[in-house]
Structure 1
Amino acid sequence: MSVPHITGVKICGLTEEAGFDACVEHGADWIGFVFFARSPRFVTPQRAASLAARGPGRAKTVGLFVHPQDEDIARVLEHAPLDILQIYASDARAQDVAHRFGLPVWLSIPVAGREELPTSCPVQRLLIEPRPPKDATRPGGNAQKLDWSLLAGWAPAFPWMLAGGLRPDNVAEAVGVTGVPAVDVSSGVESAPGIKDPALIASFVQNARGVREG
């Protein structure tokens, strides 16, 4: 008998205690902190460390960086205990970061069509998301939804994750259409930019995994 797949869940852009505690309570696999100043979800290394201390070891911590220099990452790691580095960068730069810091690296891959889907993974995981609007001030976290049909039947041999426009009311459909092993949400579980809603977090995790209470 095959064991049913349990969809991995990452909640990104935590800035406050209630949201962090909800991620831990409802069993998120990864909790993300954004170290990109243009984002409304930006946190300092010290703030990330303070939040992470509320639930050590209960979920893996992911630090998101946009085209970072080594010193940017090192400055964060002096304070915040990150398990994973998620970056926007080239394949070669992502490999450099993995080698330099000895941590798993996830590489964000914005796509607009099936022909842009990657055929190999230079690091530990790829994060597939829609290309940002031309006038966007940040490469991700724009609440855009990818056309999931682009991913139907796509079954790469490497770990990957889906992001972009996911919410509690559509994540089950996204998982069903794409067969994705893990999902990433930020604005879809917020009551305001950077402020997570515990009830939405609970619903998102439950729906991503096909779990219902009661």
Structure 2
Amino acid sequence: MVIKVCGMREPENIREAEALGIDLMGFIFWPKSSRFVSERPAYLPTTCRRVGVFVDEHIEEVQRIAGEYALDIIQLHGHESPDYIRQLHLSCSLIKAFNIATIDDFTACIPYEGLVDYFLFDTKGQRVGGNGQKFDWSVLKAYRCQTPFLLSGGIGPDDALRIKAFSHPRYAGIDLNSRFELSPGLKDIDSIKSFLEKVKR
């Protein structure tokens, strides 16, 4: 199972999260986010893949940041079209996020089949992301696309058993963020460690 920890910013916090053996670490490059990376951290991970999160950003800016931060993956969390993705011309892997509430929301995924490596399913809310709430995971039974997905949206320390019990043929991993924070952009490393131990046990 792929483990992604998103919304990182503080150098020592980045080191500690990386030491947990996670697979992906997300950095948010959307200025309206409380976890926005306004300047390059003094330390960036080397043993897990770096994910840059963007929301309706100009293609040239995504390309610039991808190069500056040596990003391995680009996550698009806005209304980016299939044509936008085709125009990126990056060697990075791609994640396209969708906000989910009902079965009908999966129809938005169809035009992106074959264009990205993963979908990420987040909770539909007032904010683009980081709402800290779970959607009804039972609707995922209706997901029929071939693209693997990461499960996001309000996963917290008490959800280890639910994660272990969840099953879907395209389920690839989980995305952890706001429910594991001491403050925006600062993760509770002990809480993440305890959670991962329970999930992997």
So what's the TM-score if we normalise by structure 2?
0.86
Match runs of 1:97-136 below 5 Å: 97=88, 100-117=89-106, 118-119=109-110, 121=113, 122-133=115-126, 136=127
Q: Secondary structure at the match of 1:169?
A: helix
User: In structure 1, how many angstroms separate the alpha carbons of the residues matched to 2:56 and 2:145?
Assistant: 25
Give the RMSD, CA atoms, in angstroms.
Answer: 2.0
What's the counterpart of residue 183 of structure 1?
174
What's the counterpart of residue 205 of structure 1?
196
Q: Which amino acid aligns with 2:31?
A: A
User: In structure 1, how many angstroms separate the alpha carbons of the residues matched to 2:179 and 2:86?
Assistant: 30
| Displacement of 1:51 | 2.4
1:144 aligns with 2:137: no
Q: Secondary structure at the match of 1:109?
A: strand
Kindly indicate whether the alpha-carbon contact (under 8 Å) linking 1:151 and 1:178 is maintained by their aligned counterparts in 2. no
1:30 aligns with 2:30: no
Q: Which amino acid aligns with 1:51?
A: Y
Residue 22 to residue 37, structure 1, CA distance change in 2 (3 Å): same
1:9 aligns with 2:3: yes
The Cα offsets for residues 130-161 of structure 1, whole Å up to 9 and x where unpaired, read as 2122xx3xx11111211111113746432211
User: In structure 2, how many angstroms separate the alpha carbons of the residues matched to 1:175 and 1:91?
Assistant: 33
1:91 aligns with 2:82: yes
Kindly indicate whether the alpha-carbon contact (under 8 Å) linking 2:103 and 2:142 is maintained by their aligned counterparts in 1. no
User: In structure 2, how many angstroms separate the alpha carbons of the residues matched to 1:22 and 1:178?
Assistant: 29
Of residues 71-80 and 178-187 in structure 1, the stretch that sits farther from structure 2 once superposed is 71-80
Q: Secondary structure at the match of 2:182?
A: strand
User: In structure 1, how many angstroms separate the alpha carbons of the residues matched to 2:63 and 2:134?
Assistant: 33
Kindly indicate whether the alpha-carbon contact (under 8 Å) linking 1:168 and 1:188 is maintained by their aligned counterparts in 2. yes
User: In structure 1, how many angstroms separate the alpha carbons of the residues matched to 2:34 and 2:160?
Assistant: 23
Q: Secondary structure at the match of 1:191?
A: strand
| Displacement of 1:175 | 4.6
* Stretches of 4+ aligned residues off by more than 6 angstroms: none
User: In structure 1, how many angstroms separate the alpha carbons of the residues matched to 2:13 and 2:144?
Assistant: 33
User: In structure 2, how many angstroms separate the alpha carbons of the residues matched to 1:206 and 1:155?
Assistant: 31
| Displacement of 1:42 | 0.7
Of residues 88-97 and 182-191 in structure 1, the stretch that sits farther from structure 2 once superposed is 88-97
Q: Which amino acid aligns with 1:44?
A: S
Gapped runs of 5+ residues in structure 2?
Answer: none
Identity %: 27
User: In structure 2, how many angstroms separate the alpha carbons of the residues matched to 1:178 and 1:109?
Assistant: 19
